[in-house]
Each structure stands twice: as C-alpha cells, then as structure tokens.
Amino acid sequence: MQTGKISVQTENIFPIIKKFLYSDHEIFLRELISNAVDATNKLKVLASRGDFTGELGDLTIQVAVDADAKTITITDRGIGMTAQEVEKYLNQVAFSSAQEFLEKYKDESIIGHFGLGFYSAFMVARQVEVQTLSYQDEAKGVTWTCNGEPEYTLDDNDKNDRGTSIILHVAEDSEEFLANDRIEDLLNKYCKFLPIPIQFGMRTETRMEGEGDEAKEVKEEHPNLINDVDPLWKKQPSDLSDEDYKSFYETLYPFSPEPMFWIHLNIDYPFNLTGILYFPKLNNSFEVQKNKIQLYSNQVYVTDEVKEIVPEFLTLLHGVIDSPDIPLNVSRSYLQSDANVKKINSYITKKVAEKLQELFNKDRESYESKWEDIGMFVKYGIISDEKFYEKALKFALLKNVDGKAFTIDEYKEHIKALQTDKHNKLIGLYTPDKSGFDSYLKAARSKGYDVLLMNQIIDNHFMQHLEYKLNDLTFVRVDSDTLDNLIQKDEKQESVLSEKQQEKVKELFEVALGEAKNKIQLKALSPEDHPVVITRPEFMRRMQEMQALQGMSGFAGSDDFYQVVVNTNHPLVADKLLKMRSEDKKEAFAGYLFNLARLNQNMLKGEELTKFIESSLELMKN
C-alpha cells in the first residue's frame, strides 16, 4: 500500500480565489477594511496591556479612490508588519495572523479568523501593493507587491508612519469599483457600524453667513465619516430612550413607518449575542417583508439571510443581530448549522414570547389595538414553531366582528353555551369579510351566535392548526352550512309543508337549477332565515384558498362544490310559491329565489347578472 500527500500548488490557488472563493466580488472591500480594523484593534489591545507605549493618535481608517491612476487605497494606522511578518502572513495562504493573535490575547475581539480575506483583493486587482511599517521600535518600512502570480517582490521603503496601506491596481473587468458612488455604497453596506472610524474623502457643507443682502454662501470641507463606531445595539437598554430606538430604526430603514415596539437582545452566556429586533407594521402581507434582519459579526455586516439563526416566523421582524459565535463559512457568505445556532434560535424565540406576554399583561388594551399587526407574527409562530405555540396560547387573540378580543381559552368559554354541537364540539363561526357576508352575519346574530373576523392572509392555516392541536374546537365559515345544521342539537325544526307539498317545491327548484338539480336540499329552517341559501363545504373551500395562497389555480370543477338549501318554512316558499296559479310563474319564481341566493354568494356575473337585474325590474313592474 502506498500513501502520500496531495500537492496544492500556489499557481492553482489564485484562480480559485478570484473566481470561486467569494460569491460576490464586492466583498473585497469588507475583507480589506475588516483587516484594517483588526490591525487597529490589535494596537489598542497592546496599548491597554502596556506592550505599546507610544501615542495612538488618530486611528481613522482612510479609503481613497483615484480613477485616473485606477487605484483603490485602504490605509490604517494599526499594528503594521515587519518584513518577517509580511513573509509569514502574506506569503502563506490561509495563515491568519488574527488567529495567532487571538491565541495570545484570548479575551480580545478580532474579526478575521480565516486568513484568506486579504486575497479577496485579487478578485478585482491586477496587482496588489502593500506598504507597511510595524509599531515596533527600530522597524523599517517594507513594500510587498504581487500581480496574482506566485511570484512577489519585497523591498524596503521610507514609510515613516506606523500602519499599512493596501493599494489595489484595479483590473479592467472591475473598473466599476473606481466610481466614488459605488465604493461609498459598499462602505455603507458593509462598514456602517465598524468599531474604528472610516473616512472616505471629504464632504462639502454649505451654510449662510451674514444677514439680508450681505448674506453669502460659505462652503466648508469636513471628513466624510462613514460609520457609527458605537451602534445602539452595543449600548445598555437602560441608557436608551424610545426616541433613540426609533431614530436607529429610521437609520436602518429610511422612509419606513414607525415600528410598533422592539426587543433589545443582550446575552453573554452560553453564547455572545447582542441586537435589536423591531416589530414592523405588516399590513396583512408578509412575503415582501422578509430578509430585513441584518446579521453582523463583531459589527461587520455579514448577510440578511438569517433563516438558520432566526425562527422562520420571526424573519418578518426587522433589525440587527450581532454575534461573534455564529459559525460562518470561509467567505462569510452563509451560515453553518451547529449547536450554537440552535441555541441562538431558541433564545430569540423565548425572548420574543416573553416580550409579547409582557405587553399583553402590562397593557392589554394597547396590545389588542395592535393585534392586526402583531397577530401576523403570533399566528405564523403558532403554526411553525412548537415551543412558541406553547407560550403563545396565553397571548394569542381571536377578534369577533364587533371588535371584541378574546384569548383562545376565553373564547371557548364565551361560545360554550350556544355554539356546542351534540358531539360536545365547539363551533367557531367566522367570516373573512363583514360587508360581503352581511346577511349571514345577521342570521347568526339573530340566533345569538358570535362570529369571528378572520381576514388575514394566514388565517386559513392558523385555524387549521388550532383545530389540529385543540380537539374540542372547529372553525366554520358562516356560509359553509345553514346555522341550524352546523350547531345541531337533538331537537329539529318541523316543516310547515306536507310531504306532497315538499315534493312539489323540489320539482320546481329542479327545473330552475337544471343540470345542478342534484345539489338541492330541502330543510325546515326558521322562517326568519333566507328562503334559499347556497352553502359550500368547509374543507373544499379551505383547500381552494390554500392553493390560491400558494399560487396554484386549484383543481378542475372545484367551483361546483356547493349545496342549494331551500327553506321550506319561509313564507316565500311555503306560501307565495305554492299559491301561484301559473306553473311557468312558479318555475320563474323558484329560479328567481335561486339566483337571489347566487347573488349573495357572488356567483352571478356577466350576462347572468344582467338578466337577473332585468328580471328583477320586470318583477317590480308586475
């Protein structure tokens, strides 16, 4: 048997870095500035430990673009490197000086752990030049130059200012990065909250000096500072006001409506995590709201794809999460699942549930007033997260058409007396639209029944989930069946018609319905109920709605699933219809009552609707 080592040559590594290491070439700026922040933080650590006794001075990181020279320069006044360190760290791919520094100063926060970040420069540069001077006494400046081939040069220079300048000679296919606007956008995206000040050129401010006719414009140049080095999520909640949180939200999401409330996350065991999660106003829509939580690692922007860290239902939230303990892949492009991610996920779920319970307990009236927006999060969580479901039962609300809110237990007690069927199952009547189902609502109210308003896009799934979890409750739309049939008791209403008269009524409606005659049901309902009611099976209607929600068109013929219930106790059926002399008039009147029921269900359209209006006018004339 023969064993050996696979040889990886440096000739092969640069094309891999350039094409495959990072999913997006713009990442080079984040990586190089992160390195500059690391170098600066290292110097601050050495100074705090007494290992560096010189003046720190201005530690601002400078970013400059020279379109004519086709260069991008990133300069820091950090720890710098000696010639030996350049040899060690720049000429050994994937050897991270940050990792070595961390091992020596374990309690300090250093961003880069991979050692490949520097090489992202070659994704956009045909040549990279590093001019550096170490903080160490008697150190000499050196310049390292490489054009993306294994060969490099290392020369002395006369640099007299501590720190490092990385000069990228931008390649032709990456000249988009020579535009100031492009670089500033990337700095705002990736470096907005880095802990060391970052300056990108100067900005001009105009102010008026003098008064009246003597007033004149005065232009002043100020450093264009990109970042907030001490972002809100790193501060103590006790030091912050509501206005601070709202102002920060506006910084993150300009022109967005004010958030309803927020949660400040701050934990250091068993993992480190800080952040602020905001509850936005959703307006009954959640798909467009996703990917609004920004993930940072030590204040470096990583991604807004946080589904591994944040429970699915909380991807509707906005805000920031920052954790050095989140495992990233080498390019920081996506998260890797591990035990810490699961712990963070559970922690965030717990904190959100606690916040909602606190709001409910503290000011129920205010909580209820926000339910239209809060409800989307809570219902989504109940459906998708078992741990959240267990907690949410105490603060999830059901609202009826009169605007009164109940917890689930409260509502079960509320409808128990009148809306329990003979199998001891509670029947929760609901409507998706008050005005469109007005006649059904009036019929329910006349019997003392309560009707819930379920008009959110997620309600179909929410009700189905509650039915699955709670064996004693089922939800039925007010038009799914006649009320007396829904909430069956042992006693039944007697028909005022004889069997022979009922047969005649059935014949007349069979003629009116034509091919749909097999859908007719004769029932002895209350005289106050409608003469003809069209009902749809609850399970079939829900199936259609769920398919529509998923963008599916439904199955063929699904619109034909309905029943036509003729109320044999209604005066228009029991009296007027049967007493008409002409058979044609009886059939026409039966057809009119049927179409009236179809109109109530929005089933009359186009030519059929026009004919119905014309027949109604004719009926009024006669």
pLDDT at residue 95 above 70? no
Kindly report, as residue ranges, where domains of CATH 3.40.50.11260 are found in the chain: 396-486
Selected residue with higher pLDDT from 400 and 549: 400
- DSSP 3-state of 64: strand
Domain 10-201 classification at class level: alpha beta
What letters, b where the CB count within 10 A reaches 16 and e where it falls short, cover 38-64? bbbbbbbbbeeeeebeeeeeebebbbb
Burial 473-502 (b: 16+ CB within 10 A, else e): bbbbbbbbbbbbbbbeeeeeeebebeeebb
Averaged over 81-89, what is the pLDDT? 87
The confidence score (pLDDT) of residue 114 equals 40
User: According to the model, what pLDDT value does residue 18 have?
Assistant: 60
pLDDT at 47 over 60: yes
User: Which position has the higher pLDDT, 538 or 240?
Assistant: 240
In this prediction, residues 455-480 reach a mean pLDDT of 89
Q: Report pLDDT for 107.
A: 54
CATH (residue range 232-362): 3.30.230.80
Q: Is the pLDDT of residue 540 over 50?
A: yes
From CA 248, how far away is CA 593, in angstroms rounded?
Answer: 61
Q: Determine the pLDDT at residue 498.
A: 85
Residue 10 pLDDT level (bands cut at 50, 70, 90): low
Q: What is the model's pLDDT at position 305?
A: 79
Higher pLDDT, 206 or 328: 206
Closest to 398 in 3D by CA, of 416, 372, 380, 419:
372
**Greater confidence, 490 or 90?**
90
Q: Of 306-320, 379-393, 484-498, where does the model show the most confidence?
A: 379-393
Contact 77/89 with Cβ under 8 angstroms? no
CB–CB of 38/112 below 8 Å? yes
DSSP E strand stretches across 9-136:
61-66, 71-76, 125-133
What's the pLDDT band for 94 if we cut at 50, 70, 90? very low
Higher pLDDT, 156 or 617: 156
Percent of the chain residues topping a pLDDT of 90: 37
**CATH 3.30.565.10 intervals, the chain:** 10-201
- Mean pLDDT computed over every residue of the chain: 83
Residue 488, φ and ψ in degrees, nearest 5: -70, 130
CA gyration radius for the chain? Answer: 36
Q: In this structure, what are the phi and psi dihedrals at residue 295, rounded to the nearest 5 degrees?
A: -100, 130
Question: Which is higher by pLDDT, 19 or 245?
Answer: 245
396-486 has which CATH code?
3.40.50.11260
Is residue 35 over pLDDT 80?
yes
Angle ∠(242,248,252) on CA atoms, nearest 5: 145
What does the block give as tokens for 17?
């870095």
Residue 318 has pLDDT above 60, yes or no: yes
C-alpha distance from residue 92 to each of 41, 350, 389, 484, 566 (Å) = 23, 45, 51, 81, 86
Q: Kindly report the CA angle at 415 between 392 and 372, in degrees rounded to 5?
A: 40
CB 140 within 8 A of CB 355: no
pLDDT by residue (tens digit) across 344-360?
Answer: 888 889 999 999 999 99
Residue 333 has a pLDDT of 52
Q: Sign of the CA dihedral 51, 55, 61, 66?
A: negative
Q: Which amino acid is at 482?
A: T
User: Tokens 């109604």 sit at which residue?
Assistant: 616
Amino acid at position 12, single letter: N
* Mean pLDDT of the region 94-122: 57
pLDDT at 83 > cutoff 50: yes
Q: Which is more confident, 118 or 475?
A: 475
pLDDT over 60 (residue 491)? no
Residue 108 or residue 480, greater confidence? 480
pLDDT at 101 over 60: no
Q: Which of 268, 249, 246 is nearest to 320 (CA)?
A: 249
Q: What confidence category does residue 208 fall into, taking pLDDT thresholds of 50, 70 and 90?
A: confident
With a cut of 50, say whether residue 580 has pLDDT above it.
yes
Q: How many CB atoms lie within 10 A of CB 368?
A: 17
- Smallest CA-to-CA distance from 91 within 165, 36, 34, 152 is with 152
- pLDDT (average), residues 303-332: 77
Q: What does the pLDDT read at residue 456?
A: 87
Angle at 452 between CA 447 and CA 457, to 5 degrees: 150
> Over the stretch 263-298, which tens digit does the pLDDT of each residue have?
999 988 778 889 999 998 876 655 545 568 898 888
Tell me, what's the pLDDT at 145? 92
Choose the weakest-confidence range: 313-322, 416-425, 508-517, 555-564: 555-564
pLDDT score at 368: 95
Task: Centre a 10 Å sphere on the Cβ of residue 571 and count the other Cβ atoms it contains.
Answer: 12
CATH number assigned to the domain covering 499-621: 1.20.120.790
Query: What is this structure's pTM?
Result: 0.75
Whether 554 has a pLDDT exceeding 90, the answer reads: no
Q: Which pLDDT score is estimated for 337?
A: 60
| Residue 24, CB-side half-sphere exposure with 13 Å CA sphere | 13
